[in-house]
Amino acid sequence: MTLAPTEAPPEPPSPAFDPHVNDFSLVVATANGTGSQTANLTLMRSFFRMGVPVNGKNVFPSNIQGLPTWFHIRVSRDGYLGRKESGLLVAFNPATVDADLRALPAGGAAVIRDDLHPSVARDDITVYALPVKQILEVSDAKGKVRDYLGNMAYVGALAWLLGVPLEVVEHALSVQFGGRRKLVDPNMLIVRAAHAWAVANLEKRDPFRVAPMDLTRDLLLMTGNEAGALGSVFGGVSVVAWYPITPSTSFVDAMREFLPQLRPPQGGERSYAIVQAEDELAAAGMVIGAGFAGARALTATSGPGISLMAEFTGLAYYAEVPAVIWDVQRVGPSTGMPTRTSQGDLAFTYTLGHGDTAHPVLLPSSIEECFEFGWRAFDLADELQTPVFVLSDLDLGMNTWMGERFAYPEGPLRRGKVLSAEDVEARGFARYADLDGDGIGWRTLPGNPHPRSAYFARGTGHNAAAVYSERSDDWVENMERLARKRETVRRAVPAPAVERVPGARAGVIAFGTTRYALTEARDRLAARGQQVSSLRLRALPPSDAVRAFIEEHDVTVVLEMNHDAQLFGILAAAFPDLAPRLRSIAYLDGVPFTAGFIDDRLQPYLAAEEA
C-alpha cells in the first residue's frame, strides 16, 4: 500500500534550539539502598519546575541493599514521556561503571565519582570526575546520612552543567521533603558546594542543557499508584484488604497516607478499615465478603497475587459480588522479574476463575486515568455487581509521571440495584431475577429488616431466587442471563481512545503505558510519510468501537508488552471474522518500549502493505 502523505510537514525544531536543549535522557547509576532516589526525584522535579516535560523511570533490583539500580530521566520539549536511551550518565556505582560507560552513545557525557576508576576509556564522550568526598567536607553529617548526602553532589554538579538555577533545586528539594527545613538545609548545603566546585573547576564540554519553557504549568508529578489510591479514596473505598507485593505495595501505602488525611475519623469513628491479610487469597475473600455486605472494597496486588485470587474471583463472578482488584503488573510467570514492568497478566485476569468467567478489566495509561478508574471502578463494580479489575503496571504504578490536575468525580456514588425494605415490600425479591433485561438482578444487603429480603449467596448452582439447584434448566437459564450481563458490561466500560489519521490503512491497537512510546513512534512515522491510526484500549471486553477500528484498516497491529500476544488472542477470539487482519508485536524484556523499537517493529507490516 501507499501510505498517505502528510498534509503538512511537521514543524522543524526552532532554530533557537540546539538539538540537545530540553531533549535528552539522563541515567543515574547507583547501588540500591544508597539513598539516591531523593536526589533523582529532586533533579526531575527541578526540570519540571523549569516548565520542561519530564518522566522518571526507576529500574531497580529485587533487593534492599547493594544491587545496581538505574534511574532514567527523560527531558522532552516535545512532551514525549516514553523511555529513550540515555546520552548523559551519572556513574556512582563501581560495580557497573564500565558497562554504564560502554552503553553511552558517541557524543554522550558522564559525571563519574572520582574514586571510581573505570577500565573503559572512551574518546568520543565527555567525562567529568566529581570529588564527592572533598565536596562533603562542608557537612558535619556522619555515617549513613553522610553517604546519602553524597548523592546531592551530582545534583549540584548537574545543576551547573545543565543550567538549572539553584533556587529551582531548592524548591524541588523542599517539595521532596514536605517543606521540612531540617532535611532541606543539609541537602542544599551539598548541592551548593558541588555547584560551586563545578563553577570553579569544570569546563562545559557536552551539549546537554535545560532551558526554561512553559509546558508544565498546573501539571502534577505523581506515581500511578498514588493517583489510583487517591481516586479510590474519592471513590468511597471503605474496606481495603491486601498482602504486600511489589509493585502494588506503594498503592496501599498511599491509601494509608491519604485516608486519615482526607477522611479523618468523626467522633472517633473511622470511615474505612484496612487489613493486611495473611495472603492474597484471604485478601480477595475479605473483599468479596465486604462487597457482599455492601461496603466498597478493594485489594491491590500483582501477578502472583492474582494467581491466588482466581478461586475467589470465580466465586464472586458467579455469586455476583462487587469488588475492585488492582493488579500492578510485573514480569511473570511466578516470581519472574519482580521489579520489572509487564503487560503479561491480561489474558489470565480477563477470565480469572476456573472457567466460563469474564471480567471487566480497566486499562489505565496515565495518572489521570489511574485517578479516574480509581473512583469509577467502584461505581462499575456496584452497578454491574461483579469484580472489576484495574490493570496497571510497574512502570505506571511506581514511576513518577506528569499529568493534568484530576477532575473531581462526576455525580454521586452510584450504588447500583439495591433494594430497601420498602422496595422488597412493594416489589418482592428474587436475587437473580432479570427484571430489567440487562442481566443484572436486584440485590439486598445483610441487615435489611424485611423478612423476605434474605438470601443465601453461593457458588453452587442456584435458581433466580438464589435457592440451591442442580437442575440443568436452572443452570442454563442463569448462564444465559450472565451472558446478557456481559453485554451490559461491554457497553458500560470506558470507551477506547481512537486517533484516526485520514487515509491511513494501518492501525495499531495498544493499551496502558505503551502509549507514550507509540505516540512518539507515530510522530516519527508521520514525519517520514507513514501514517498509522491508533486505538488505545481502555477496557475489556472490547466494544463495537474496537471492531469498527479493525474494519476500517487493512491491517491492525496489536502492540503489547508480553510474550504470548495476549491481547491479540483476545481480539482474534472476540472478532474471529476480522482475525486475518490482525498482526502482533508482542515483546517483553522488563523495560518499557522505546519509540525506536516500535518504529522498527512496525516497518515490516507497513512495508508489506506497500508492496
- Which residues, other chains included, contact 11 with Cβ-Cβ below 8 Å and sequence gap of 6+? none
- Find the binder of another protein among 95, 145, 199, 262 (CB under 8 A): 262
- Report if residue 444 touches another protein, rule: CB under 8 A: yes
**168 makes contact with another protein (CB under 8 A):** no
Which residue(s) pair with 534 in the sheet? 499, 508
User: Is 451 exposed, middle or buried (CB count within 10 Å of its CB: 0-12, 13-18, 19+)?
Assistant: exposed
Q: How far apart are the C-alpha atoms of 567 and 537, rounded to whole Å?
A: 10
Whichever of 413 and 573 has its CB closer to another protein, that residue is: 413
Nearer of residues 32 and 366 to another protein, judged by Cβ: 366
User: Please, which residue, 314 or 507, has the CB nearer to another protein?
Assistant: 314
Task: Give least dist CB 75 to another protein, A.
Answer: 19
Q: Find the shortest distance in angstroms from Cβ 464 to another protein.
A: 16
Three-state DSSP at 441 gives coil
Q: What is the nearest approach in angstroms of another protein to the Cβ of residue 319?
A: 8
- Output 360 or 409, the one with its CB closest to another protein: 409
Q: How far apart are CA 42 and CA 488, in angstroms?
A: 46
446, 447, 453, 459: CA torsion to nearest 10? 10
3-state secondary structure of 485: helix
Nearer to another protein, 133 or 414 (CB): 414
By CB under 8 A, tell whether 265 contacts another protein. yes
* Residue numbers 469-528 binding another protein by CB under 8 A: none
- Quote the CA–CA distance of 589 and 256 in Å, as a whole number: 32
Q: Tell me if residue 148 falls in helix, strand or coil.
A: helix
Applying the rule CB under 8 A, the residues between 274 and 313 that interact with another protein are 274-275, 277-279, 281-297, 311-312
Which residue, 367 or 550, is less far from another protein as judged by CB? Answer: 367
Distance (Å, whole) CA 362 – CA 324: 10
> What is the nearest approach in angstroms of another protein to the Cβ of residue 437?
26
Task: Determine which helix (DSSP H) or strand (DSSP E) holds 557, and give its type and residue range.
Answer: strand 555-560
258 binds another protein (CB under 8 A): yes
Distances (CA, A) of 544 to 2, 84, 477, 511, 580: 28, 35, 26, 17, 18
**Considering the rule CB under 8 A, would residue 42 count as an interface residue with another protein?**
no
CB of 277 to another protein, least distance (A): 7
Single out the residue of 44, 241, 381, 555 in contact with another protein (rule: CB under 8 A). 241
In whole angstroms, the minimum distance from the beta carbon of 583 to another protein comes to: 39
Output the smallest distance, CB 272 to another protein, in A. Answer: 7
Q: Does 180 bind another protein (CB under 8 A)?
A: no
Tell whether residue 600 is a contact of another protein (CB under 8 A): no
Q: How far apart are CA 28 and CA 72, in angstroms?
A: 6
Q: Rule CB under 8 A: choose which of 82, 336, 409, 496 binds another protein.
A: 409
Residues contacting 480, CB < 8 A, separation 6+: none
Q: Which of residues 319-338 bind another protein (CB under 8 A)?
A: 319
**CB-nearer residue toward another protein: 299 or 392:** 299
- Would you say 213 or 467 has its CB closer to another protein? 467
Residue 263 interacting with another protein (CB under 8 A): yes
Site for another protein in 519-578 (CB under 8 A): none
Q: Which helix (H) or strand (E) holds 192?
A: helix 181-201
Query: Contact at 8 Å (CB) between 75 and 22?
Result: yes
Whether 85 and 68 have beta carbons less than 8 Å apart is answered as no
Select from 65, 261, 334, 472 the one that contacts another protein (CB under 8 A).
261
Assess 221 for contact with another protein (CB under 8 A): yes
The residue from 12, 15, 19, 267 that contacts another protein (CB under 8 A) is 267
CB atoms closer than 10 angstroms to residue 155: 27
The binder of another protein chosen from 16, 217, 408, 437 (CB under 8 A): 408
DSSP result, 199-259:
HHH----S--B----SS-TT-EEEEHHHHHHHHHHHTT--EEEE---TTTHHHHHHHHHHH
Binder among 447, 502, 576, 580 for another protein (CB under 8 A):
447
Q: Which of residues 96-155 bind another protein (CB under 8 A)?
A: none
Q: 161 vs 222, which CB is nearer to another protein? A: 222
Distance, CA of 335 to CA of 331 (rounded, Å): 8
> What track of x and - describes contact with another protein for positions 364 through 403 (by CB under 8 A)?
-----------x----------------------------
Nearest distance, CB of residue 55 and another protein, angstroms:
15
Question: Of the ranges 68-76, 233-241, 538-546, 564-572, which one interacts with another protein (CB under 8 A)?
Answer: 233-241
Examine residue 270 and tell whether it contacts another protein (CB under 8 A): yes
Contact window for another protein (CB under 8 A) among 409-417, 481-489, 515-523, 550-558: 409-417
Binding to another protein, residues 448-467 (CB under 8 A): 448-460, 467
Least spacing, CB of residue 162 vs another protein, in Å: 23
What is the rounded CA–CA span in Å between residue 261 and residue 3? 54
Contact 419, 442 (CB under 8 A): yes
How many CB atoms neighbour CB 477 within 10 A? 16
Helix (H) or strand (E) holding 13: none
**Of 323 and 565, which has the nearer Cβ to another protein?**
323
Number of residues that bind another protein (CB under 8 A): 80
Dihedral sign from CA coordinates of 428, 433, 439, 444:
positive
Cell of 33: 539502598
